[in-house]
Structure 1
């Protein structure tokens, strides 16, 4: 379901397609997800969020530098987008753009996801010496830049769009870390450029 949401969004995918990809009969879906497509989508949102947070935490644990970790994290998303030939964006943004005020379960799942990601980023920034309130604000900008940059790169079919957003964001974050001066991050070339 996460792959389908990433590529086509909630309304662009049918349950028959998801079941066929999983090789599962329809009865299995309603046994495990009595709420049908919406419940399956909320479970996919939770799973994607967990994977995103775990990956970011692993990058932070490996280097303990939030700028390097965020640069790699966003870079990995950009490479995944390019590898998919710009079809696989972030499923959180894709579903969020489709929700209406009536989609309470989806909106709650997305809000929980965004709060969890922002909290992970804010904790990392605060650990680098940025005051907690400022770290929270910057974490909101990181998530907005991540989602917006992926969306713009997907539409433009150009990974450089996301890299440009990342460079500006990294310079800003570096300027906020006590004792650190901003430097232009070295980003790996996109697969097309190499």
Structure 2
């Protein structure tokens, strides 16, 4: 059996994605150079192009996909424990608020960070982000439909929840306070709960 090159060893790809995710959360795509990124992942330069021939952009897309997969897993776990999807959404937002606060308001949602700094020329990134947000909205809409919400309004409510989640985290991060997202979340979920009782 031929010798395995270091760039093919298990775990390297995951370390690269984890390093990129951390960078996106804290500094954005353009806030970290390749050398620093590779050092954080503990990998030589050739490893990046072995796993991600498209370089930094392809790695960022993989990171976005990974973030969404983990967000969905967390959301699915909450939905399995709570019959009311609004309560699951509340806990989802609360967990994100707690994570942001625990980092001293330095690490926000990587999706919003990349979205804000992307340009019209960043086609791959924008497609990945659009797919990410659409996937989150669809999963929430499905949960709402399962408890009787009509399809069209479920999609609208899901869009509102995702917008509150992302916008609230952005405001909390720049304010260095959880108040903006807590206020937005509480108001939104109170309105949704009152609407459900009508």
Give me the TM-score of the superposition, normalised by structure 2.
0.88
2:103 matches 1:84: yes
1:103 aligned residue: 122
2:113 matches 1:94: yes
CA deviations on 1:102-126 (whole Å, 9 max, x unpaired) are 1000000001000000001111111
2:33 aligned residue: 14
2:63 aligned residue: 44
2:181 matches 1:162: yes
Match of 2:166 among 129, 147, 151: 147
Find the structure with the greater CA-based Rg.
2
CA distance in 2, matches of 1:133, 1:139: 10
State the 1:16 CA deviation: 1.2
SS at match of 2:107: coil
CA distance in 2, matches of 1:63, 1:147: 22
State the 1:173 CA deviation: 1.8
- Which structure 1 residue ranges, 5 or more long, are not aligned? 182-194
CA distance in 1, matches of 2:93, 2:35: 33
- Which structure 2 residue ranges, 5 or more long, are not aligned? 1-19
- Mapping for residues 114-153 of structure 1, pairs under 5 Å: 114-153=133-172
SS at match of 2:165: helix
Give me the TM-score of the superposition, normalised by structure 1.
0.90
CA distance in 1, matches of 2:164, 2:34: 32
Moved over 2 A (4+): none
2:194 aligned residue: 175
State the 1:9 CA deviation: 0.5
Check 1:176–1:128 CA distance in 2 against 1; reply closer, same or farther (3 A cut): farther
Going by fraction, where is helix more abundant, 1 or 2?
2
